[in-house]
Chains A and B, each alone.
Chain A
């Protein structure tokens, strides 16, 4: 087995080196090491080979060759994903799109950008800024994550409620199929005739093809943005305040909630002036014309007061706005400081269920003997529980995973889902059985086969094997009864 693998590695590496710069065909274990995992480093695996093609023709050739030999291909962007979606396959090739890092065109009049998949999310906005434009979705990894990876995971960010996810902001992609053929999906129009295959590609985790070019919509930069910070004595009051803002007909650009544990950790890290006595904190950002922002900021402050806010602060300058956001945006590393390790979950729930879900989670926290802090995209119901653990303590990660699985099952129970923006990858593949029944999973497999009949694109990710679903459901049932 090991010998056969080594032989295949040598043979493939030689074949790739025929048309790719040999420096970019990585066969030695040491140089391959950084590719063993994505942002979820608890899951790792060494690949057969790593290749970094520099041209479209090379990508097509890699795909054709792998297709002919039945070799799995795992496309990889910046490797910042959080679901092990880009974790290598021991018999597969990691196809890195890192060399595809050019912004090909920005059309200020049509407000679009045509970019290669390896371009960083934030780099799009930076390049568009001279035209007064920016790219909407802003995942917290936006400094590092690539647009190709954003398409693969249908990434969101803190501005989703108003500006949508990746799927709402991508007009078109160029895709290399499993057999190496080139196809353009979507168009420069807002829709295209025929089946909307773009709907499938966004969030498909590299299971359907390799994205080699992306055209995105750009948005006008708002004339003004301002944020209101409010502390609340209970999670319930903060949740009700969110509902009251929506009920008043206001759609904030961002609406974030943090629970007490997250507030304390973030404040210690960022010194943003967060209210340490509050059980929950809301950050509500309004953007648009100056007149609109002034009108709505006053309205939101009034609503928060009426809903029992214990403290309210409105940013008076860009510096202050940035400082208030800094606490929220650094919440993950901040929590990292109060615990050796943390595990970030990504469930979505109807907002009305928030208080119930958080209460249940605190009970589970006691059962599992693990602390949990919560950061919540309150506007769109996307919850990020951070489970604190110590990977060096035997069995603690296994307990953390079990706790995480219970949280996701709870999300589904209250009408939500197992992942809002991080994706399924390998991490949540078992929980797919909680959200979907066998007929639905089988349907997803048939769709996969439509693009990838032999199942060589990122195998083992995204959609679980049916037999395993039944096992998992039986196991989960046993645990709860």
Chain B
């Protein structure tokens, strides 16, 4: 149901009264970012519906509150998929929230992220204006890419009301392989394999085991599987449950904080029983009590950044902090889109 008019009215009210908003879909990613308080909820859970879907154009447009399970059901009918394999969180995850948090699943290094797939958005900016950026075509370089800018901004730059994104055909065949390896050897092997034209769609290490997933043309999958069984003594796995858990980010259970590194894929980081290496090395998960500053330095050494993903003190900062120049630019960009600071203040950084 199209709730844009009501949403604009709520934003206008927020501007008029100076009462900041907390933008919310189905709340499946409420654990991301910092805890905020004193905000009025702007609810998009009823702003739903697939606006258009043209399978042959590989493009779908949906209102922000549309659930991923609904989107996937429509794609299934045409044997297509959302290539970024974003977590479903029980199906309730919405397309708007998925874009705002830029979360992707194990296929991300090959299938891209929602940030890569977004073609256009409709937004309400901090002046209550309804704006459209991008469109429904694959290539569009007119104006700055404001749609892609929303990816990972955690709703701090506007209310995403509609998203157009690229979809792809489902692979013909998928298979899973495994091999017992140390984390160090696994990082090297998965990187080497990713440098070949093998049809890889997942490369992960967890609990002393390398897990590889192959997806693509039947002939290519079969041939690569036979080759890897022979060359690396990999064995076929019944992997669907494992890869589902990995996608849903629930391999590492426990009460301690969950940390996420986004780093150079070949980086060597310390790993233990409470860590997972995903995305062919680019994404590492770690559960335990650590200091943000300590892990931030390790991430920086590995060419990337850290996030305190879930749990722990969330009134404190939860992401790697930018230097003064980058901080200034981010503040200016925030101000350009949300001059009154009414969208999710404090969610991304305490200072923004």
Contact A352 B57 (CB under 8 A): yes
Please measure, in the bound complex, the distance between the C-alpha atom of A131 and the C-alpha atom of B192, giving whole angstroms.
Answer: 11
Pairwise interchain contact B334-A195, C-beta atoms closer than 8 A: yes
B residues 54-68 near A (Cβ < 8 Å) are 54-59
Comparing B136-144, B178-186, B232-240, the segment that makes contact with chain A is B136-144
B45 at the interface (CB under 8 A from A): no
Minimum Cβ distance to chain B for residue A84 (Å): 14
- Chain A minimum-CB-distance residue to B296: A193
CB closest chain-A residue, reference B303: A188
A439 to B325, CA, bound (A): 29
Interface range on chain A: under 10, 10 to 19, 20 to 34, or 35 or more?
Answer: 35 or more
> Given the complex of chains A and B, what is the CA–CA distance between A130 and B337 in angstroms?
45
Bound-state Cα–Cα, A166 to B143, Å: 16
Is there an interface contact between A187 and B145, defined as CB atoms closer than 8 Å? no
**Smallest Cβ-Cβ distance to B319: which chain A residue:** A193
A contact residues around B348 at 8 Å (CB):
194-195
Q: Which residues of B contact A200 (CB under 8 A)?
A: 144-146, 149, 333
Q: A243 near B: Cβ within 8 Å?
A: yes
Asked whether B336 lies within 8 Å of A449 as measured between CB atoms, the reply is: yes
A221–B332 CA distance with the chains assembled, in angstroms: 41
Contact A291 B219 (CB under 8 A): yes
Verify if A233 is at the interface (C-beta below 8 Å from B).
no
Q: Does A111 touch B at the CB level, under 8 Å?
A: yes
Chain B residues near A287 (CB-CB < 8 A): 197
Contact yes or no, A182 B153, CB < 8 A: no
CA distance A177 to B303 in the complex (A): 22
Q: Which residue of A lies closest to B78 (CB)?
A: A247
Instruction: Produce 1/0 per residue, A246-258, CB < 8 A to B.
Output: 1111110000000
Let me know if A417 is at the binding interface, CB within 8 A.
yes
> In the bound complex, what is the Cα–Cα distance between A160 and B140 (angstroms)?
12
- Given A194-B349, A419-B141, A432-B142, is A246 in contact with B56 using a C-beta cutoff of 8 Å? yes
Residues of B within 8 A of A (CB): 54-59, 79, 102, 108-109, 112-113, 115-116, 125, 129-133, 135-146, 148-149, 151-153, 156-157, 168-170, 172, 188, 191-192, 194-199, 216-220, 222-224, 261-267, 279, 281-283, 302-307, 319-320, 322-323, 325-326, 329-330, 332-337, 348-349
- The distance in angstroms between the C-alpha atoms of A439 and B337, with both chains bound, is 12
Residues of A within 8 A of B (CB): 107-112, 131-133, 153-154, 156, 160-161, 164-165, 167-168, 177, 181-185, 187-197, 199-200, 202-204, 220-223, 243, 246-251, 287-289, 291-292, 294-296, 348-352, 377, 379-382, 415-424, 428, 432, 435-436, 439-440, 443-444, 446-451, 462-463
Residues from chain B with Cβ under 8 Å of A417 in the complex: 135, 137, 139-140, 142
Given A107-B266, A246-B169, decide whether A420 and B307 contact each other with a Cβ distance below 8 A. Answer: no
* Complex contact A168–B136 (CB within 8 A): no
Question: B144 is contacted by which of A181, A204, A377 (Cβ under 8 Å)?
Answer: A204
